[in-house]
Structure 1
């Protein structure tokens, strides 16, 4: 199964995916491309170290989302990408990619959706004062973090937690959960029926 990882930042989840592949925890999965919307982001260096092709672009250099997603789609087709994995990609996916990869785009989000969608979900959880938050992997639809949920992990918020301490614990769960879901997808064990996701 050829996948493309979309990321905008440091790429810790990209590295977790590559580590799982090296450890033979994802047999049959190949990262064929990294797509990054922030040229120079740390994730690009991680991909280069892994000898993974990088497609980097600046959205402002394109007329609109349609224009840059058409360019992305061409790159995905060149690499014969079958699934898109969003791992810290900070842009909404538009109709071009949603239609081409319907039911084959998943996203990792640092909260227990549907709570705390959008940016700074960790900060939102701390400010709201909830006692637990977590990690969600879900299918992507046209909304912001509104797609059908595949899997979730709970992360308790401890007394005295800061953004840094909570982020570290959430990332530990992200690095485990995302490769696990990709493995289930590759094995054909994830079935999307309407809004419900069945996991064997």
Structure 2
């Protein structure tokens, strides 16, 4: 099987990146992370990339006069690797519509809530304030609408009475580390494909995200 070329975008420590790198290394994901791009210099995720033989690239957004100029430079760097997939893993930048459209059907993101609940920031605080009994993570196709692309898969975790935003974040992160490599394994073996921006799983239209239950853990 031909291994898919993956470029990962990060902004920090890269724990989801590590889960992806490990899954590629043990071949549970039939892909290769060829480059990791960070918009912040000196982050741990760049060291993880080097350890696994991927190119580690810093593209500091503060050195660009506008979001558009940064995204143009980012697109140029990504395209130089001819990726099959562009994976956002804790990339804390809102991307311009032009860049997202360029990678439509090839760019995915993971978000720490059960979308469509709680797009944007402070997801765990919002789940607790609402009295939710479940939280989780969602992998979705990236479209110009923030956290609004087709939902591909979700992992659920239980919210306990004693949970705080920090403890809930820790539980959701564990679920993310299981969920993201799983979705990438589907993408890399073409079990999950996009036709005109619509996800298809095993040849059938994916109307609802695949559900992974971690609430019993």
TM-score by length of 2: 0.86
Map 1:28-107 to 2 at 5 A. 29-107=31-109
Q: What CA distance in whole angstroms lies between the structure 2 residues aligned with 1:72 and 1:6?
A: 10
Q: What CA distance in whole angstroms lies between the structure 1 residues aligned with 2:190 and 2:68?
A: 31
SS in 2 for 1:43: helix
Q: What CA distance in whole angstroms lies between the structure 2 residues aligned with 1:39 and 1:119?
A: 22
Instruction: Report deviation, 1:68.
Output: 1.2
Which of 133, 141, 145 is residue 131 of structure 1 equivalent to? Answer: 133
Which of 7, 29, 37 is residue 26 of structure 1 equivalent to? Answer: 29
Instruction: Report deviation, 1:97.
Output: 2.0
Instruction: Report deviation, 1:193.
Output: 5.2
Distance 1:47 1:191, change over 3 A: closer
2:212 alignment counterpart: none
Instruction: Report deviation, 1:86.
Output: 0.6
SS in 2 for 1:108: strand
Contact 1:111 1:134 in 2 (8 A): yes
2:5 alignment counterpart: 2
Contact 2:46 2:57 in 1 (8 A): no
Aligned residues: 199
**Cα RMSD (Å) of the superposition?**
1.6
Instruction: Report deviation, 1:157.
Output: 0.5
Q: What CA distance in whole angstroms lies between the structure 2 residues aligned with 1:112 and 1:195?
A: 21
Distance 1:82 1:191, change over 3 A: closer
Unaligned runs of 5+ in 2: 203-217
Unaligned runs of 5+ in 1: none
Contact 2:142 2:149 in 1 (8 A): yes
Distance 1:67 1:128, change over 3 A: same
Q: What CA distance in whole angstroms lies between the structure 1 residues aligned with 2:143 and 2:9?
A: 16
1:153 alignment counterpart: 155
Contact 2:104 2:197 in 1 (8 A): no
TM-score by length of 1: 0.92
